[in-house]
Amino acid sequence: MAGISLQLRRMVRGNTAFSWLKGGGYALIISTGPWVLSMVAVALVAALLGGDGSEHAAFFASVSYSQAASQILFMPVILVFSRHLADGIYLKKPEVIGESLIAALLVTPLLAYPAALILAPGSAALHLTMINGANAFAGACLGASQRFLRVLLAYAAGYAVSCLGVILALSAGGSNADCVSGFLVGQCVLFALLISGMRAELSLLRGADFSWLAGLWRNPALSLGGLGLAAGLWCEKFAYWFFAPDRVVTELGIGYCPSYDLPMFLAMLSATPGIAFFYLQLETGFADAMERLTDRLSFGAALAEVDEAHAEVRSTVVRCLTMLCRAQAGITLFGLLFAEGLMEGAGVGAVQMGVWRVAFFAVFFLVLFVCVQALLFYMNAIREAAWCSLCLLALNLGLTAVFLRAGTAYHGVGFMIASAASLLLSLFFLGRAVTRLPMRMFTSR
């Protein structure tokens, strides 16, 4: 996370409209990932198709399943992989980017293989899961090379081609499976564009570097934290897809829950500006304060100067989270006040309207939780972040199972409570980490 903040800070240093646009786009990609971008692309496709979308539910479900599977399967590994890249760049070993990428692409099919438990072997949805993982590895490498504009253009072009591929498949009378294949074509274009941007790094290749895989057991808290966060975000959706009384099974053999999926899908879009705003505006200020504290500790400054820098870090954390809370509260309030008008065009019924309101509160807590997690990672409080992520997973799964039995009126309540409780735990750990920050820099405790 520290590397991300420092990169964003350099991007907006010129204080021009273009630099802020570039920084905002990159913050959107690295903070929300392909998941939200896929949601936006699917929403655009749905708007172009018109109707209630039920005839294309299998396509929408396939994209959701592939995104969920790729995040859960690849998130723990991506965190370790990114850490390895950061260490290699710090040690001035540029060859680590290309060599690690080759190794990552070789293990990608193996990492994606468990998705075959829920997606048909050989299906376009399973291939989409695999290419999502490959894009995550390639995107991390290109970002580490600081080719930020190439990352933006690659993602923009890739998702544009995905949308176009779906539209062309439908215009030719294709099935929902063909639509998934059309979406897959765009993600392959995205992968090709990301790889083409790393010609210089790939020219340094001397072989494949698998050493980063050792980080999975050398630093288990990092990978467990990633797994807990990704699975915690998706576990209740799988519960609705497989066990909700009102679930529907598509012709592709995968289920979805109409009363839950659409309102939650729309509410989750409200997380995008808040998290991107945090990474672009707030965490960059925190990076400045952290750098000043680190410099004073490293060069043996007087205790009064260290205390002054430490106080600045504490005040920056409070200011950042306060601003984020206000911004996300405004988005949530807008969604709640204008929910009826927004939902009329989406064909949402009374039950879904209730889920929409619960989902907006859940997303409010979730955004704050994700941003606090970023700060914990930044301060190397990895074990604490892992505990918070695993707490989200356990609470979300357990509470969702309880409220599923209560009926559709309680859809999403378990997710909301789990997000709020996990946020409180993460704030406790953050307060302790900030208070002990100078000592942690020397002892890692």
Residue 292: CB partners within 8 Å, gap ≥ 6?
309, 312
Identify which has the larger pLDDT, 229 or 23: 229
What does the angle CA 260 – CA 262 – CA 267 come to, to the nearest 5 degrees? 95
- Mean pLDDT check: name the lowest of 257-266, 267-276, 341-350, 354-363: 341-350
> Is 429 in the same domain as 280?
yes
Which residues pair with residue 256 across a beta bridge? Answer: 248
pLDDT at 54: 63
Q: What is the mean pLDDT of residues 230-252?
A: 89
> Is 298 in the same domain as 157?
no
Domain assignment of residue 250, yes or no: no
In the block, which residue shows the tokens 């705003």? Answer: 277
Tokens of 301: 């400054």
Burial grade of 107 (CB within 10 A; 0-12, 13-18, 19 or more): middle
Residue range 139-169, pLDDT digits in tens: 888 877 777 677 778 888 888 898 889 889 8
pLDDT at 20: 45
CA–CA separation, 9 and 20 (whole Å): 10
Phi, psi (rounded to 5 degrees) for 7: -65, -45
Last residue of a domain, one of 218, 246, 281: 218
- Determine contact, residues 364/268, Cβ cutoff 8 Å: no
Flag whether pLDDT at 192 surpasses 80: yes
Identify which has the larger pLDDT, 291 or 160: 160
pLDDT band of residue 235 (cuts 50, 70, 90) is very high
Residue range 54-81, pLDDT digits in tens: 677 888 888 888 888 998 999 889 888 9
Identify which has the larger pLDDT, 6 or 429: 429
CA–CA separation, 92 and 194 (whole Å): 22
> Is 55 in the same domain as 146?
yes
Domain assignment of residue 252, yes or no: no
Counting the structural domains of the chain, the total is 2
| Percent of the chain clearing pLDDT 90 (strictly above) | 22
pLDDT band of residue 2 (cuts 50, 70, 90) is very low
pLDDT at 4: 42
Domain assignment of residue 296, yes or no: yes
Q: Please provide the average confidence, as pLDDT, over all residues in the chain.
A: 81
pLDDT at 5: 43
> Is 201 in the same domain as 88?
yes
> Is 214 in the same domain as 274?
no
Burial grade of 172 (CB within 10 A; 0-12, 13-18, 19 or more): exposed
> Is 184 in the same domain as 104?
yes
> Is 340 in the same domain as 429?
yes
Domain assignment of residue 238, yes or no: no
Phi-psi region of 50 (alpha: psi -120 to 50; beta: other; left: phi over 0): left
Q: What is the CA radius of gyration of the chain?
A: 22
- Mean pLDDT check: name the lowest of 87-101, 129-143, 330-344: 330-344
- Determine contact, residues 99/207, Cβ cutoff 8 Å: yes
Identify the CA nearest to 401 among candidates 425, 381, 418.
418
pLDDT band of residue 103 (cuts 50, 70, 90) is very high
pLDDT at 354: 78
What range does the domain containing 325 cover?
268-443
Identify the CA nearest to 318 among candidates 255, 375, 387.
375
Residue range 76-102, pLDDT digits in tens: 898 889 888 888 887 888 888 889 999
pTM of the model: 0.83
> Is 365 in the same domain as 287?
yes
Identify the CA nearest to 388 among candidates 373, 366, 371.
373
> Is 284 in the same domain as 420?
yes
Task: For the chain, give the secondary structure using H, E and C.
Answer: CHHHHHHHHHHCCCCCHHHHHHHHHHHHHHHHHHHHHHHHHHHHHHHHHCCCCHHHHHHHHHHHHHHHHHHHHHHHHHHHHHHHHHHHHHCCCCHHHHHHHHHHHHHHHHHHHHHHHCCCCCCHHHHHHHHHHHHHHHHHHHHHCCCHHHHHHHHHHHHHHHHHHHHHHHHCCCCHHHHHHHHHHHHHHHHHHHHHCCHHHHCCCCCCCCHHHHHHHHCHHHHHHHHHHHHHHHHHHHHHHHHCCCCEECCCCCEECHHHHHHHHHHHCCHHHHHHHHHHHHHHHHHHHHHHHHHHHHCCCCHHHHHHHHHHHHHHHHHHHHHHHHHHHHHHHHHHHCHHHHHHCCCCCHHHHHHHHHHHHHHHHHHHHHHHHHHHHHCCCHHHHHHHHHHHHHHHHHHHHHHHCCCHHHCCHHHHHHHHHHHHHHHHHHHHHHHCHHHHHHHCC
Residue range 251-286, pLDDT digits in tens: 778 888 888 887 887 788 777 777 776 766 655 677
> Is 434 in the same domain as 312?
yes
> Is 383 in the same domain as 288?
yes
Domain assignment of residue 231, yes or no: no
Last residue of a domain, one of 184, 218, 252: 218
- Determine contact, residues 262/64, Cβ cutoff 8 Å: no
| Percent of the chain clearing pLDDT 70 (strictly above) | 81
> Is 7 in the same domain as 134?
yes
Phi-psi region of 68 (alpha: psi -120 to 50; beta: other; left: phi over 0): alpha
